[in-house]
Amino acid sequence: MISAAAVRVSHPTGVLRGRVTLPASKSEANRALIIRALSGKDFPIHNLSDANDTQLLNRLLSTPAGEEVSAEDAGTVMRFLTAYYAATGQELTLTGTPRMCQRPIGVLVDALRQLGAQIEYLGEEGYPPLRMKGFEPAGTNQLTVRSDISSQYISALLMIAPLLPQGLELTLEGKISSEPYIRMTLAQMTHFGVQATFEGQKITVAKQEYQAKEYTVESDWSAASYWYSITALAKEADLFLPALRSDSLQGDSVLPVLMAPFGVQTQFTPEGVQLTKKPVQEPLAQIDFFACPDLAQTVAALAAGLGLEVEMTGLESLRIKETDRIAALQFELVKLGAELREVSPDVFKVFLAKQPENEPTIHTYEDHRMAMAFAPLALKVPVIIEEPKVVRKSYPTYWNELEKAGFALEVK
């Protein structure tokens, strides 16, 4: 882990070959941890992610809750714990970092209140910190919830649904954001013995019990995206990413199709995927990130590095992530000679504007994905990444893996 204020990243040859170690999926791991806690049973979860978000959630669920619990900067931890503490009737204060207390949670709190949760806002209405004051069943199991903001609200409600006195009938209102993550949640619930139906805009979960079963977490496709970008930007690349599956539950497993036009060939093997650099295919179609928003920063930075103009849609949820990711991209892409411009409502385009700065310094805004999305551009021009330690949130060994692949890292 690099804890310096900044790190200069470069690559002497632009040629990369070898095997890359990926973190385990924190999306899968965090759901498995919540389900295990809700089940009241102890069962092994193999290949648990070493990402800070997952380790934090594991600690908070493994020790008795205190008077105040901090989800730090972890969105899934905040949202999943809000539902978990509500359903289990715990009384405590749930808070987080200053940025976390600026991220909305009103949709989830309103839904939990309708089910009987006693929750009080201690600051601004609709935002953490929250005072959890117990649970008294409200006599209804029917909810209508906006589904165009964050799938994490939906997943949090679904995981507690089997514990509710009448189960849950959940109607999703509006376009469903990040639907693959909702289906991941339901698939993992099924693995642990809970059945649900998802038809149209309605999900129904009856009252049931989770069963104790071993679970093995897949490698993280979101983390794999940076190696796809590296492959596309390299002069030559032949990289193996272990423990990724073609039948993955993760929404970001669209990468093989998404990245093919950028010149990355994916070959699945029983052990993982082999990435090979190929010529860039043109033209590139408009890309919709509504189902895979965590890939948007990677693609925007990659397009700038390759000198391509790309239209991007489905970026609505980026405003409420670790930072306002649209604004962050707009500020930082300028340093690469590119521009992210809103060309029509909800449609953004990466434009090429000028020559990139000499050794641009990338501000990361306390956002792990800003650091990891921009570092691969060192294959085109050396880049300085500020606050490199932010990668601990999801990929603590990222800088070590870059060094193994031949990148030169100079602490600033």
Whether the per-residue pLDDT at 164 is higher than 70: the answer is yes
Whether the per-residue pLDDT at 358 is higher than 80: the answer is yes
228-265 confidence digits (pLDDT tens): 999 999 999 999 999 999 999 999 999 999 999 999 99
Question: Mean pLDDT score of the chain, rounded to an integer?
Answer: 94
Whether residues 241 and 179 share a domain: the answer is no
The CATH number of the domain holding residue 34 is: 3.65.10.10
Whether residues 314 and 225 share a domain: the answer is yes
Q: Is 346 a catalytic residue?
A: no
According to the model, what pLDDT value does residue 316 have? 85
Number of domains in the chain: 2
Whether residues 255 and 398 share a domain: the answer is yes
Whether residues 266 and 305 share a domain: the answer is yes
- 74 DSSP 8-state letter: -
93-104: average pLDDT: 95
Whether the per-residue pLDDT at 44 is higher than 70: the answer is yes
Residue that is last in its domain, among 193, 216, 239: 216
Whether the per-residue pLDDT at 125 is higher than 70: the answer is yes
Residue that is last in its domain, among 159, 182, 216: 216
Q: Which domain holds residue 100?
A: 26-216
361-402 confidence digits (pLDDT tens): 999 999 999 999 999 999 999 999 999 999 999 999 999 999
Assess contact for 107 and 145: CB atoms under 8 A: yes
Whether residues 232 and 155 share a domain: the answer is no
According to the model, what pLDDT value does residue 70 have? 97
Query: Per mean pLDDT, which range of 43-52, 257-266, 297-306, 350-359 is the poorest?
Result: 350-359
Candidate list 73, 220, 252, 294, residue with the active-site label = 294
Whether the per-residue pLDDT at 153 is higher than 70: the answer is yes
Whether the per-residue pLDDT at 310 is higher than 90: the answer is yes
Whether the per-residue pLDDT at 322 is higher than 90: the answer is no
Which of 352, 350, 311, 314 is closest to 329 using CA atoms? 350
Tell whether 1 is covered by a domain: no
Confidence tier at 202 by pLDDT (50, 70, 90): very high
Whether the per-residue pLDDT at 331 is higher than 90: the answer is yes
According to the model, what pLDDT value does residue 341 have? 93
Which of 50, 88, 94 is closest to 71 using CA atoms? 94
According to the model, what pLDDT value does residue 323 have? 84
Whether the per-residue pLDDT at 321 is higher than 90: the answer is no
Whether the per-residue pLDDT at 1 is higher than 70: the answer is no
* Tokens linked to 267: 């070959």
Residue that is last in its domain, among 216, 235, 266: 216
One-character DSSP codes across 76-144: HHHHHHHHHHHHTT-EEEEE--TTGGGS--HHHHHHHHHHTEEEEESSSTTSS-EEEEEE---S--EEE
Whether residues 175 and 47 share a domain: the answer is yes
According to the model, what pLDDT value does residue 283 have? 61
Whether residues 331 and 355 share a domain: the answer is yes
Q: CA 50, CA 46: separation in Å to the nearest integer?
A: 12
pTM over 0.85: yes
